[in-house]
Each structure stands twice: as structure tokens, then as C-alpha cells.
Amino acid sequence: MDFRTCVNIQKEWDIVGARQFGRDFSKKLGFGIVDQARIATAISELARNIYLYAGSGKICFDEVENVGSRGICIVAIDTGPGIKDISQVMEDGFSTSGGLGAGLPGVKRLMDEFDITSKTGEGTEIRVVKWVR
Amino acid sequence: MAKNLKEILVDNSNDLVHMWLEEVAEKQKEVTNSAISQDLFENTNREFVNIIFGSVEKESLTSDLDSFTERVINLGWPLSYLTDGLQLFKRVAIEFLIEHEELDVSVPKVLRHVDELVNPIINQLVNEYSGSWENTVSLQRVALQELSAPLIPVMDNITVMPLIGTIDTERAKFIMENLLDGVIKHHAEVVLIDITGVPVVDTMVAHHIIQAAEAVRLIGSTCILVGIRPEIAQTIVNLGIDLSKFPTKSSLRKGFTTALEMTNQMIVQTNSEEQTIEELIDSLDRSEQS
Ligand SMILES: Nc1ncnc2c1ncn2[C@@H]1O[C@H](COP(=O)(O)OP(=O)(O)OP(=O)(O)O)[C@@H](O)[C@H]1O
Ligand SMILES: [Mg+2]
């Protein structure tokens, strides 16, 4: 797939850069205030997971279209340790870092579409989409 | 060797200075900044090359070099001004020496010798320059940290912590420490954390707020989270974060009313016959018109 822009995640402040970009991008696509906040928060979760668990990776942004509606597609890609049991990390409250464990299940609820592929030792790719209402 | 390489350079300093100034002027044409006057450029260049020569001649780093660097930094000129200038000086010196007829030294030796003369100056400048930047950055960090978790003791027993801007892990820890210190220092029974100015409340921020509120509870006080904007309320709900363990209010005003109730306090208007502030402003308006 041909992504328009990617923001590299290496240090903690890159998370802020990624969500700022996502907020501006979603504003341009016509999302309202609440959805902008949802999108920015989802990016924050995905980017922080990359920073915490994979060390580095990137967040890519693209505009998507589907019979008359427009949306934002965000893909978080890393080549970190990967996730062994995906259904486990999608449970509310599961965390290996003493966090709330609300990040991934939260992102799923914040966005309209959510796909995760991961292979241990190879990395994780999470693709989410939100449609403009 | 008839003459030492350094002596040749020093003896011909007039020519070299001239060549260097021409090269530098040529280079600066490409990046000319109209905000900087030509005079300032020329004077600085002249001073720069004299300082380079001073250091080369004495084969030691002079204090002139330090004060010169400091001035360039204060002018806000880029590090590349200094490094480019020195690279050009190396080139000019090498070309001059190789073409010099009195010279019976091999080219690699010339290169090495010029490197030995000029590189210490480059290192010194870069160190000075980056040191000054690090200093600026660390001062700004201190300034930011002072701003990052302010505590305002509004009344006896009631303290407010207004948070503005992005919260990273470092700031989150600082907020927690400051909150606990402040609650003890001001004997606060209730502390209001105002997040009106926090752009994103993600799980990390929420987690730290929950922990801070829990810690405040453990030392016998109560934390009220205020300034939860509607869109933030919705994302918190979507994330599935449970904030029900401590009171939350949409605005600082409502939180403050709750805080007054909790501390058995009330704000009363002392004398209803006296004008209220609004009436006062109204009367001022009227007197201005008349
Ligand atoms: N990109 C990733 N690579 C490897 N493991 C991951 C990645 N993202 C998440 N995980 C694993 O999934 C678990 C759950 O992630 P989730 O974001 O839901 O919660 P958390 O990060 O632990 O806490 P928080 O509520 O602060 O987000 C993590 O603890 C981690 O073990
Ligand atoms: Mg997470």
C-alpha cells in the first residue's frame, strides 16, 4: 500500500509528533472535535505501545474512501518482539508493564475498524480506520 | 626543511587572509541573510581569521577564541559559520603550501601538518558551541519544570493544580511528587486537579492521575478531577477507564463548590446593601457615558 506520510517513533516526544500530525490530518478530512480527540488518543496508544514494547517503529497515515464516505487509515508498524497471544492483549486490563491494560481494547472501541497482525520475533502491525460521519 | 610550514603560513599571513576572506565572501553569497548587515559580516570575518592565525601562530588556543565563539553564539549565527570558515582556512592553507616554491615537503605531510594546526581549533569551537546550547536547553528545562505542575493554595484546606500542555512520563512523575509535597505543605484537605489545558488524556495520563488521586487519599486528603472537556469525557469512556473512585467535575467552578462543601466552608456576601461587582461595573459604564 502506498502511504502518504509516516512518523517515526523512536523517543517519547515522537508520540506527541504523531498524534499532532493525526489531529491536523483528521481535521482536514472533516472530522468533528470528538472524533479528532478519539483519533489523537488512538494514535497516542499505538505510538506509546511501539515506544514501550518494540523500542521503535512508525505510524503511517492515509486517506481512505468507500462508497461515498471518507476516512482516515492509521497503521502502526514495528519490528519488535511481537505479540504471542492476541486475544489476551485485547482483554481489558491485561498489561505486562503495570499499565491499565486499556490501550489496545480502547483503540478498538475508539475506531471503526481494527486489524492486528503479529508474529513473535518479527513484529506487529495494527491497522485502524475511522470514517467521517 | 628550509622553513617550517607554520612559519611559511605566518610569514604569508597577509596573502592567506586575503584569499580566505574572498573565499568566505563567495561562500556566504550563497546563503546571504539580508537581516545581517554586510559590515557586520566583514568585520566578523576579519576578526575570525585573525583569531585563527593567532591560534596557529601560538599553536595553542587563545582566550580570544572563547570570547569570539561566545559572541557568534549570541548573534545566533549557525555553527556552520564557524566550521565552514575553518574548513576553508584549511583548504586555503593547503593550496598555498603546496604551490609554495620554497617547500620541499611531501603533500601528505602538508595535509597532516595543517590538520594538526587547525583541528584543535575546530574541536574547541564545536565544544564551546554545543556546550552553550546544552546550557540553554537545560535552563529551559528547569523553567519548564517550574511551570509544569504549579500548586495554588486558594484557601485554607483547598489547593488547585492547573495542568496545561502535554504530559509525558517525566512530567507525570513530577506532578505526582509536587502534588503530594504541596498537599502536605499547604495542609490541603481537598486538591483540585484541573485538566482543561491537557490536549490528550490517554491511558498513560489517566493511569498517573488515578495513582496521584490514590496517593492523595492515602495521606488523608481528597482529590477532585476538574476541567474534563466533553470530548475528553467521551474518549475516557471509550478507553474503558474507570474514574469513579474519586470525584470528577466538568469545570473548576463546580469542583470548587464541591470542595467548599467538603471542607464545611461557604462563600457569603457580607453586606447585601453594598453594591455587587456587576453593579459597580454598570455604574462605571454609566459614568463613562455621561
Ligand atoms: N507493539 C507491541 N509489540 C509488542 N507487544 C505489545 C505491543 N503493543 C502491545 N503489546 C502488549 O500488549 C499488552 C497490552 O497492551 P495495551 O496497550 O492494551 O496495555 P498496556 O500498554 O499494557 O497499558 P495501557 O493501558 O497504558 O496502554 C502490553 O502490555 C504488551 O505486553
Ligand atoms: Mg498501551
Q: What is the DSSP letter of B275?
A: P
**pLDDT at residue B272 greater than cutoff 70:** no
Q: Which of A27, A49, A60, A33 is nearest to A107 (CA)?
A: A49
- Contact residues, chain B, for A13 at CB < 8 Å: 168
pTM over 0.90: no
Rounded to the nearest integer, the mean pLDDT of chain B is 86
State the pLDDT at residue B274. Answer: 59
CA distance A98 to A101: 8
| Percent with pLDDT over 70 in chain A | 98
| A5-131: in CATH 3.30.1280.10 | no
Neighbours of A114 (CB within 10 A): 17
| Percent with pLDDT over 70 in chain B | 90
Asked if the C-beta of B144 comes within 8 angstroms of chain A's C-beta atoms, the answer is no
State the pLDDT at residue B1. Answer: 43
Position in ligand 1 atom list of the atom nearest CA A50 = 1
Q: What's the pLDDT tens digit per position in A103-112?
A: 999 999 999 9
- Contact residues, chain A, for B166 at CB < 8 Å: 16
State the pLDDT at residue B289. Answer: 55
In DSSP terms, B249 is beta-bridged to B226
Average pLDDT over residues B194-216: 95
Pick the residue whose CA is nearest to atom 1 on ligand 1: A50
Q: What's the pLDDT tens digit per position in A1-37?
A: 455 799 999 999 999 999 999 999 999 999 999 999 9
Q: What's the pLDDT tens digit per position in B241-263?
A: 999 988 999 999 999 999 999 99
Average pLDDT over residues B187-205: 96
Strand order of the β-sheet with B152-155 is B152-155, B158-164, B190-197, B222-226, B248-249
Pick the residue whose CA is nearest to atom 30 on ligand 1: A96
Let me know: does A116 contact A124? Beta carbons within 8 Å: yes
Angle (deg, nearest 10), helices B63-75 and B107-148: 50
Residue B183: which pLDDT band, with cuts at 50, 70 and 90? very high
For ligand 2, the distance from its centroid to the CA atom of residue A46, given in whole angstroms, is 7
- What residues have their beta carbon closer than 5 A to ion ligand 2? A 49, 103
* Complex ipTM: 0.95
For ligand 2, the distance from its centroid to the CA atom of residue A97, given in whole angstroms, is 9
Rounded to the nearest integer, the mean pLDDT of chain A is 95
Residue B33: which pLDDT band, with cuts at 50, 70 and 90? low
Among chain B residues, the shortest Cα distance to A37 is held by: B231
Q: What's the pLDDT tens digit per position in B92-129?
A: 999 888 888 777 778 888 888 889 888 888 888 888 88
Q: Regarding predicted confidence, which is higher, A28 or B266?
A: A28
Residue A64: which pLDDT band, with cuts at 50, 70 and 90? very high
Among chain A residues, the shortest Cα distance to B169 is held by: A12
Interface test with A, best of B204, B210, B245 (most A CBs within 10 A): B204
What are the boundaries of each domain within chain A?
5-131
Burial of residue A30 (number of CB atoms within 10 Å: 0-12, 13-18, 19+):
exposed
Q: What's the pLDDT tens digit per position in B135-160?
A: 888 898 888 888 888 999 999 899 99
Structural domains of chain B, with CATH: 2-137 (1.10.490.10), 149-289 (3.30.750.24)
In the chain, the amino acid numbered A72 is I
| Ligand 1 pocket, mutate which of B168, B201, B203 (most atoms under 8 A from CB) | B203
- Contact residues, chain B, for A45 at CB < 8 Å: 202-203, 239
In the chain, the amino acid numbered B72 is V
